[in-house]
Chain A
Amino acid sequence: MSTLEVKDLTVRLPAGGDRAEAVSGVSFAVEKSEILCLVGESGSGKTVIAHSIMGLLPKTLALAGGEISLEGEELTKASEARRRALRGARMAMIFQEPMSALNPVMTCGAQIDEVLSCHTEMPPAERRARAASLLREVALPDPEHLLDAYPHQLSGGQRQRVGIAIALALEPALLIADEPTTALDVTTQAQILRLIVELQRRHGMAVLFVTHDFGVVADIAHRVAVLREGRLVEIGSKLDVLTRPSHEYTRGLIGAVPTLQPHGRPVPANAPVVLATRGLSKTYRARRWMGKTREVQAAADVTLEVRKGQTLGLVGESGSGKSTVARCIVRLVDPSAGEIHLGGADLARLRAGEMRPLRRRVQIVFQDPYRSLNPRRTVGEAIIEGPLNYGVPRHEALSRARRLMELVRMDAAALARYPHQFSGGQRQRICIARALALEPELLIADEAVSALDVSVQAQVLALLEDIRSRLDLAMLFITHDLRVAAQVCDQVAVMQAGRIVELGDAEEVFLRPRHEYTRALFAAAPGRGFNFAAQVN
């Protein structure tokens, strides 16, 4: 008997959506002591499946058919009370956002204790001891102290460990993990993945692991199920699916995963320097009401050069200061110290008025395609705004906009429409067109592909690469994703805690990293032993 068996699961979407069903006739099983990875892009229905099993579907989604059985017990027909008794006891779930998945106003201890007090008759002292031992099991330091701590006092990784402790409290037969490491930094992600695998082995649990990341799949899965628009595309052992995918869609997905190998294009040695920073620093001072000042060095002593026709990658985990550097260069924030040289001027010293004529020469594309365009302006208006600011006549700006739309491979008819009519990938193309409308010398891409699905990401990356070489642009490419960096960067600067710890040619840094932090970063990259594109082709 399988631990979990899902048969013909169908979940209806509310009327008026882009499709009628979130999940259509999906069947699979998870065996004892097995990790099944459920993979798919956003909107593929993977999270809906997870929620259906737990009985946590929002009211707008209706279970339209199918059977779900846990250890032989049929769940779809069970009473709400029975399902509540099983939740947290026989099946448990961990979630994506460790920052918000824990109740901020309850101590960690109380949140573990709740599971024990609701499902068992354990006396309080015993419950506390059990909670402490659970924290020890998920390898948290000083459990006795952590029991009385509130979630906001813990780091993201620690909170995710508390989340796992809650899930493990009653030794469930089935653990559902819904993208549990997506919001974490790569080094933390590696630790949490290792912990999940270890716990799964020790307790012989069945694990249903939902993810979009083939790197993670390669690291932990025993079997893989691939979803597309609510339908199961294929299911099989990890090796089969990753190396011999039977379905075209799977092949495309896996082929789109960038490799960790640097691209190896020849890089001309003495191209002119477009932008150079010397000792660039930004310190934030937060004054608390008692007069204590807290200083945060977001960027310290950053020295780098971007050359014409080349791409410098700025790589680091969240909070490493890479975005601060970008924002200093375009002067969305004022640097505290250092110099920013752009064609003879020092941007760091200019006042707002003097800065204006120079803004044209550096343009930036942001991470979030949904918030980067003013919802009340047409795409055309957004693209010509920059040229109009610098005195380009309207008709000329418009014809430039039409040419740019062609360059980013979109229809010129889109100019008359509003941003909400476009998908994330299309919006990001529009943002790129808007940035290029000013004919800048330097283009900064601040995590510009991080919010996109892997197949869309591959297209936008190819577009950026094409534009860079065609217009001979200098590009500063900021990313946390080593695979993406390997694809596009000619030079790489690795940042940690506001400082550049390693800077060099991409080839050097990727193949022969010298700094120990860089090495740790590479070691943590999920699926590093797996060259996806090469496997499929």
Chain B
Amino acid sequence: MLVFLLLRLTPGDPAAILAGDAATAEQIASIRGGLGLDRPIVVQFGIWLGKVLSGDLGQSFYFRIGVATLIGQRLEPTFALATVTILIAVLVSIPMGVLAAWRFGGWFDRALMGFSVLGFSIPVFVLAYLLIWLFSLKLGWLPVQGYARLADGFWPFIEHLILPAVTLSVIYIALIARVTRASVLEALGEDYIRTARAKGLPEIRVLVRHALANAAVPIATVIGIGISILIGGVVVTESVYAIPGLGRLTVDAVLARDFPTLQGVILFFSFIYVAINLLVDLSYVFLDPRIRY
């Protein structure tokens, strides 16, 4: 397991080393040789990795504080946004996917497939502006932009999160619903479904206990892989809705050429992505008794 984790983590280094190279002026001593000038790259990587593992991500040029501290400050909004998004997406997409597979070729199936192509095609920021225009400007139901901390009350918190989370969840819903539909459809073609029907089970039980249960592994996988899309979406969404989170920080760091921050944020996001996918891999053991590690 450790080997696996390491293998998955190592590749985080190219970006980091590259980013480090441009940071020459400030951090000559530690990162200068990053591209192999005075020390072998492995040694460089070792030092850098050692620092990262001890929690030292360096100093931000722009904000003049430790990158780790900075990430800590910006974590809450991003975490809240991502959690709400995943919740909405999973709760909406899985039942829709199952229903579409059950009525394969019917109107709901075709509508869902149409929606999912649309969801993949509309850029997050275009959708974001569309929703702002409709719900905030025309209808005036929700605030245009900004973020309210949970500590400042539950309602303002949710009010500010609804639009960004809905925006962000559309592509995620499209993705999960598609995969749910496909894997449930595949499961429905299996022999054990015929066995289940031959037992005289009610259709809902056939769908959930037999088809969906066997489709769980690919669904879990796509939720994990989708985190990558989610992180990309967070960067865009936070910029549009002016949410002071990690995504916004990424863009600010690029624009300010603040490389230690950029490096830290990318590393942090990659770590989250890898960690979540590791959890997903572990969840297979519970989802499918045939899988053993």
Contact = CB atoms under 8 A, between A and B. Distances in A.
Interface of A: 54, 56, 84-89, 92-93, 95, 97, 100-106, 114-115, 118-119, 150, 152, 163, 166-167, 289
B209 A100 contact: no
Contact of A92 (B198, B214, B290, B293): B198
A386 B192 CA distance: 43
7 contacts: A56-B194, A103-B196, A105-B216, A114-B196, A114-B199, A150-B289, A289-B293
Contacts of A118: 199-202, 205
A100 B191 contact: yes
A88 B200 contact: yes
B200 A89 contact: yes
Contacts of A150: 289-290
Interface in B181-220: 190-192, 194-202, 205, 209-210, 213-214, 216
A105 B213 contact: yes
Contacts, number: 80
A270 B202 CA distance: 69
Given A84-B201, A104-B290, A105-B289, 6 more contacts: A87-B200, A101-B192, A102-B192, A103-B192, A103-B214, A104-B289
Interface in B25-63: none
Contact of A87 (B4, B197, B205, B290): B197
Contacts of A106: 209-210, 213
The prevalent SS among residues of B at the interface is helix
Nearest to B190: A100
B118 interface: no
Interface of B: 4, 190-192, 194-202, 205, 209-210, 213-214, 216, 287-290, 293
Given A84-B202, A97-B191, A118-B202, A104 B214 contact: yes
A262 B43 CA distance: 73
A119 B200 contact: yes
Contacts of A163: 195
A514 B288 CA distance: 46
Contacts of B202: 84, 118
B198 A87 contact: yes
Contacts of B197: 56, 87
B198 A93 contact: yes
Given A95-B191, A100-B190, A106-B209, A115 B214 contact: no
A479 to B, nearest CB: 26
Counting chain A CB atoms within 10 Å of each CB, the highest count among B192, B209, B210, B214 belongs to: B192
A114 B201 contact: yes
Contact of B200 (A101, A105, A115, A152): A115
Contact of B195 (A85, A89, A102): A102
A86 B197 CA distance: 11
Closest 4 CB pairs of A and B: A87-B200, A88-B200, A88-B199, A100-B191
A54 B198 contact: yes
Contacts of B198: 54, 56, 87-88, 92-93, 95, 167
A266 B257 CA distance: 90
B191 A85 contact: no
B16 to A, nearest CB: 28
Nearest to B104: A59
Contact of B191 (A89, A92, A101, A119): A101
B274 to A, nearest CB: 18
Contacts of A86: 200
A496 B201 CA distance: 42
A306 to B, nearest CB: 39
Nearest to A152: B290
Contacts of A105: 213-214, 216, 287-289
B195 A101 contact: yes
B173 to A, nearest CB: 25
Nearest to B4: A289
Contacts of B194: 56, 95, 101
A99 to B, nearest CB: 8
A286 to B, nearest CB: 13
Nearest to B203: A84
A95 B194 CA distance: 9
